[in-house]
């Protein structure tokens, strides 16, 4: 009778072991899948933040530059209007021009523009760095064991904003363009 129970106990243990392994595998799959979905959602949301930040950066810089350009043009009109009327038929033009209190162009708008450009570009770079870190975390999850078994076929499609110049520098490994004010 004891011998009859041994095959039954063996079968029960084997079936229990198989069910246990299946449950562990299922729990691992669900856990990893949920983590991958959360990372994917976080990366997609961060990409939206990057797009919004880039749009804000571009518009702020563009509008500030437009104000500075308009101020420069207005100053030219005012300056030349004053000087034309003041010195139009004067024989001692050079002496009067040197000693006169002529209007001075205020460079504060350009200083502010430069500050905005630097600040907005730094903000955008920070947001893209966060996106890159989410991408790295997602790749770590889907590319390492056991995640690669369950999640290896999943994809994460995100875009990083860069420039043609940066792509060329990384392609060639050289950055020889050091002219700050590209006047070609």
pLDDT in tens, 132-172: 999 999 999 999 999 999 999 999 999 988 888 888 888 89
Q: Residue 31: which domain range? A: 2-172
Predicted model pTM:
0.72
Answer whether residue 99 is part of any domain.
Answer: yes
Answer whether residue 90 is part of any domain.
Answer: yes
100/115: higher pLDDT: 115
Answer whether residue 69 is part of any domain.
Answer: yes
Helix (H) or strand (E) holding 27: helix 2-87
Answer whether residue 184 is part of any domain.
Answer: no
Tokens 């002219």, residue?
179
Give the separation between CA 128 and CA 159, rounded to whole angstroms.
9
Answer whether residue 62 is part of any domain.
Answer: yes
If one counts the domains in the chain, the total is 1
- The pLDDT, as a whole number, for residue 78 is 82
CA dihedral 69, 73, 74, 80 (to 10 degrees): 150
Answer whether residue 178 is part of any domain.
Answer: no
Give the separation between CA 72 and CA 66, rounded to whole angstroms.
10
pLDDT cut 90: percent of the chain above it? 51
- Cα dihedral sign, 19-25-27-33: negative
Give the separation between CA 41 and CA 33, rounded to whole angstroms.
12
Answer whether residue 95 is part of any domain.
Answer: yes
Answer whether residue 177 is part of any domain.
Answer: no
């Amino acid at each position: 009778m004891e011998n009859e129970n041994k095959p039954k106990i063996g079968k029960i243990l084997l079936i229990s072991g198989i069910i246990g392994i299946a449950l562990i595998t299922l729990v691992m799959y669900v856990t990893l899948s949920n983590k991958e979905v959360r990372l994917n959602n976080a990366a997609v949301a961060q990409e939206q933040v990057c797009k919004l930040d880039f749009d804000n950066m571009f518009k702020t810089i563009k509008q500030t530059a437009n104000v500075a350009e308009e101020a420069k043009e207005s100053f030219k009109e005012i300056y030349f209007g004053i000087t034309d009327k003041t010195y139009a038929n004067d024989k001692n033009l050079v002496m009067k021009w040197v000693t006169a209190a002529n209007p001075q162009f205020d460079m504060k708008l350009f200083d502010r523009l430069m500050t905005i450009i630097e600040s907005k570009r730094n903000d955008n770079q920070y947001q893209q760095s966060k996106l890159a870190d989410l991408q790295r975390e997602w790749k770590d999850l889907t590319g390492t064991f056991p995640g690669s078994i369950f999640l290896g076929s999943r994809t994460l499609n995100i875009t990083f904003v860069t420039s043609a110049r940066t792509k060329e520098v990384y392609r060639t490994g050289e950055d020889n363009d050091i002219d700050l004010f590209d006047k070609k």
